[in-house]
Homo-oligomer: A and B are copies of this chain.
C-alpha cells in the first residue's frame, strides 16, 4: 500500500466520489484532518471511528488509507500543533526578555491557557504517543524542546540569583506537568457533574485566572525572595497587556 505523500505533487483526477458533499475546500488531506479534529475534540480519539471521519470528509472509510497509513497517523498530523503552540509562545516570551521569574510567570500562565484551549485532551494524546513512539517522533522531539526551553529560563534565573538553587530540569519537568495536570482538571472539571471547561471557569475564574494562580504559586515557590512575587506579577501583567501573545 502506498500512501499519498504529505507534500502533494500532482492532484485531482481519479475516480469521482460517490458522495459529493464536502468537496468544498482544497485538498482532501486537510479536509480529513479538519473533520477528524472536530470529531476527536467532540468524542475523543478512542470514541471516533474511521467511518465517521470518512463520512465527515465526504469519503468512504477505506479511502482514508490513501492519505494516512492508519488512525494513529491522522492523530499525529493533528497533534504536532499541541507542542508547537506553547513552543512559539515560550519563544516570544524569551525574546521579550526581562527577568527570568517574570518570563517564567508568563510562560506558566500562558501555557495553562494554551493547553486548556486545545480542542482535545492532551493527556490522551500523551498516553497514545507514549504507546507508539515511532509514529509520534515529532511530538516527542518538540516536547523535549519545550522542556529545554523552560530549563534554560530557570537556569538563567538561578545564575542571576533570582531563583533558588535547584535542579533546573527537574523544575522544568515539574512545571510543565503541573500545567498539564491543571489542563486536565479544567477539562474534566473535578468530576463528572460539571464536565465542560466553562462550568469550571464560572466557579473559579477563567483559564487566565487559574493559570495565574498556578504561576503565582510556582514562581513564588522558586523565588529566592518570595516577597518579590508582587513585582513579578505586575511586570508580567504589564507585558501580557501590551504585547498580546498570539497563540
B123 touches A170 (CB 8 A): no
Q: Tell which of A166, A171, A180, A195 has the most Cβ of chain B within 10 Å.
A: A180
- Roughly how many angstroms separate A210 CA and B180 CA in the complex, as a whole number? 17
Q: Is the CB of A144 within 8 A of B226?
A: no
Is A121 an interface position by the 8 A CB rule? yes
Query: For the complex, what is the distance from the CA of A213 to the CA of B178, rounded to whole Å?
Result: 13
Query: Closest chain B residue to A214 by CB distance?
Result: B174
Flag if B204 contacts A167 (CB, 8 Å): yes
Task: Give A177 to B140 CA distance when docked, in angstroms.
Answer: 22
- Give the bracket for the number of chain A residues in contact with chain B: 35 or more
Given A170-B213, A177-B182, residue A131 in contact with residue B222 (CB < 8 A): no
Q: Quick one: copies of this chain in the complex? A: 2
Q: Which residue of B lies closest to A181 (CB)?
A: B181
- Closest CB in chain B relative to A196 CB, distance in Å: 11
- Closest chain-B Cβ to A203's Cβ sits at a distance in Å of 9
Whether the Cβ atoms of B124 and A192 lie closer than 8 Å is no
- What separation, in Å, do the CA atoms of A123 and B181 have in the docked complex? 9
Task: Judge if A98 is at the interface, Cβ distance under 8 Å.
Answer: no
Residues of the B chain whose Cβ atoms lie less than 8 Å from the Cβ of A129: 192
Sample of 29 A–B contacts (CB below 8 Å): A44-B131, A46-B46, A47-B131, A121-B127, A126-B184, A136-B192, A140-B192, A143-B190, A144-B190, A144-B191, A169-B204, A171-B213, A173-B185, A173-B190, A174-B178, A174-B182, A174-B213, A174-B217, A177-B184, A177-B185, A178-B178, A178-B181, A181-B184, A217-B221, A218-B218, A219-B221, A220-B220, A221-B221, A226-B226
A residues whose Cβ falls under 8 Å from a Cβ of B = 44, 46-47, 121, 123-124, 126-127, 129-131, 133, 136, 140, 143-144, 147, 166-167, 169-171, 173-174, 176-182, 184-185, 188, 190-192, 195, 204-205, 210, 213-214, 216-223, 226-227
